[in-house]
Amino acid sequence: MEETKKLTTQEKALQINLSKSIYGSFAEIGAGQEVAANFFKVGGASGTIAKTISAYDMKFSDAIYGQCERYVCEDRLVKMVDKEYSLLLERLPHRAEQVRFFAFADTVEALNYERTNQGHGWIGLRFQTHPKGEFNDCVVHVKMHDNDSLQQQFAIGIVGVNLLYGCMFLPDPEAVMMSLLDGLTTRRIEVDMFRMSGPDFKHVDNRLMAMKLVKNGLTKAAMFGPDGTVLQPSETLYKKNVLVLRGRFRPVTHVNVDMLLTSRRHFKNEPDVDKSKIVVLTELTLNDLGADGKIDEKDFLYRADIICSLGQTVLISNYFEYYRLADYLSKITRGKKIAMVLGINALQKVFEVKTYENIKGGILESFASLFGTNIKLYIYPAWKKDSHELMMLKDFESQLPDTTKNLFRYLMDNNKMEDIKDANTSNLHIISDNVLAMIRKGDIGWEKFVPHKVEAAIKEHGLFDYPYQRDRQSVSAEAAG
């Protein structure tokens, strides 16, 4: 179906109700009571709704879906969808030839009376694209930013209708994702996780969808794990100690790996870090993914493949400045220790006053977030220009203008920055841009600059045009012979 205009929430609900091929159930927990209500209000709901249920009491919810540690979480959502969809197939086999079954579920926490919590919710849909077909799943996590719980409930109602309509009428997963906020703005709702799976969506790479959430402005940050599974940041990082390495990783080199390994050793020895609760993140920002706002999706997946091959969790963010990233992580880790590892050359921009010209409080305001009570920077050395000496924090201080030297000393005195003194200096000559150029040109010897797993991934999957270059060389060699 081709849309010529964006339909209202009521128009979408009515179109679904009037379709004789869509039939299913709604199960809602907590503040998400408005989704099914939208279908009842527009009329014709008997053509769509087999059942609605609101398992609001925890004992009733447990009796229906099984016990769960938390009620607003993905695990609870999955149990709800599993139960309700299986009931449709069990009780309505006589309708299976004519309709596309769906089971919609949500579990939502709205703003409390004291307004001390973050409203958020899990929304999911299990659905068929054709009668008697296998089921597909779409799972979404949202954060709600309205300052009124009633408005948050209305917003969830709109997102729920958009999700059902998108999955039933829009064939492109990105179009489904973008339609979630029809009738809303990101000031009201933020979508920080989106996943589509099933036999009809085997072509969908949800890592790419995570990147597009950030690229399209639906959220500021999204995550996926080493196996490519998309993750919800607040749930994954809740009360965790987080270590972050920002980079372009085109490709990952021995330097990147050493930065992670050495900083992790330092981080584990911090007195306020729980070794059993450390999460290491490799972070890609949008400005490192493309130039002039254009992102090469193929190149992004190359890098994702390589980082995942090393067992790393990836954070994609729109926080260009380090202090914004620090502020974001501080809020979701709930005061746990956070560390960032930076090359000493990257520290130069952190201390440039002009970097903060557009901030009301200037460098002091940004440093309040970047060097908060729970944050520390590990600084990785570099060779001094035209010298065989290492550039360390004491050398960096000597180059600072007098206006920021005292600020630097204050941070050092309070253990907010630390040299990585055990860095593998034999790798400091490796520049990732040079390695990438060697791979693309078909030059010999790039392999020694990257870990074996990275080399294997590049060669096995043809990353960064490697097979093309190799095959071209083979043809040239054969012609020469």
* pLDDT tens-digit readout, 34-76: 999 999 999 999 999 999 999 888 889 999 999 888 889 999 9
pLDDT of residue 481: 46
pLDDT of residue 477: 45
Neighbour-count burial of 291, counting CB atoms closer than 10 A to its CB (0-12 exposed, 13-18 middle, 19+ buried): exposed
Q: How far is CA 294 from CA 212, 215, 228, 252, 314, in A?
A: 12, 10, 23, 22, 20
Query: Which amino acid makes up residue 36?
Result: A
| Packed helices 362-370 and 322-333: angle between N→C axes, nearest 10 degrees | 40
Parallel, antiparallel or unpaired: strands 390-391 and 375-380: unpaired
Query: Which amino acid makes up residue 450?
Result: V
Give the contacts of 201 (CB within 8 A, at least 6 positions apart): 136, 173
- Element holding 333 (H helix, E strand): helix 322-333
The dihedrals phi and psi of 269, each to the nearest 5 degrees, come to: -90, 0
Dihedral angle sign, alpha carbons of residues 441, 443, 448, 451: positive
Neighbour-count burial of 223, counting CB atoms closer than 10 A to its CB (0-12 exposed, 13-18 middle, 19+ buried): buried
Q: How far is CA 15 from CA 39, 42, 98, 106, in A?
A: 10, 10, 17, 22
Residue 437 to residue 6: CA distance in whole angstroms: 45
pLDDT of residue 476: 44
Tell me which residue of 255, 251, 231 sits closest to 307, measured CA to CA. 251
Tokens encoding 113: 């009376």
Could you identify the residue written with the tokens 């009037």?
A: 18
Report all structural domains of the chain as residue ranges with CATH numbers, in order of start. Answer: 9-204 (3.90.950.20), 236-427 (3.40.50), 432-480 (no CATH)
Contact yes or no for 129/166 (Cβ under 8 A): no
pLDDT of residue 287: 82
Q: What angle do CA 30, 8, 142 make, to 5 degrees?
A: 35
- Element holding 82 (H helix, E strand): helix 74-91
pLDDT of residue 473: 47
* pLDDT tens-digit readout, 338-389: 999 999 999 999 999 998 988 999 999 999 999 988 999 999 999 998 788 9
* pLDDT tens-digit readout, 392-413: 999 999 999 999 999 999 999 9
Give the other-Cβ count within 10 Å of 51's Cβ: 14
Burial code (b: 16+ CB inside 10 Å, e: under 16) for 94-105 equals eebeebbbbbbb
pLDDT below 50 — which residues of the chain?
A: 1-3, 469-481
Contact yes or no for 108/118 (Cβ under 8 A): no
The dihedrals phi and psi of 48, each to the nearest 5 degrees, come to: -120, -40
Residue 144 to residue 189: CA distance in whole angstroms: 5
pLDDT of residue 18: 97
pTM of the model: 0.90
Partnered with residue 285 across adjacent β-strands are 317
Contact yes or no for 349/355 (Cβ under 8 A): yes
pLDDT of residue 292: 62
SS3 breakdown of the chain: % helix, strand, coil, rounded to 5?
A: 45, 20, 30
Could you identify the residue written with the tokens 């999911």?
A: 124
Contact yes or no for 51/200 (Cβ under 8 A): no
Give the contacts of 226 (CB within 8 A, at least 6 positions apart): 308, 310, 311, 312, 313
Tell me which residue of 128, 141, 69, 70 sits closest to 99, measured CA to CA. 128
pLDDT of residue 181: 97
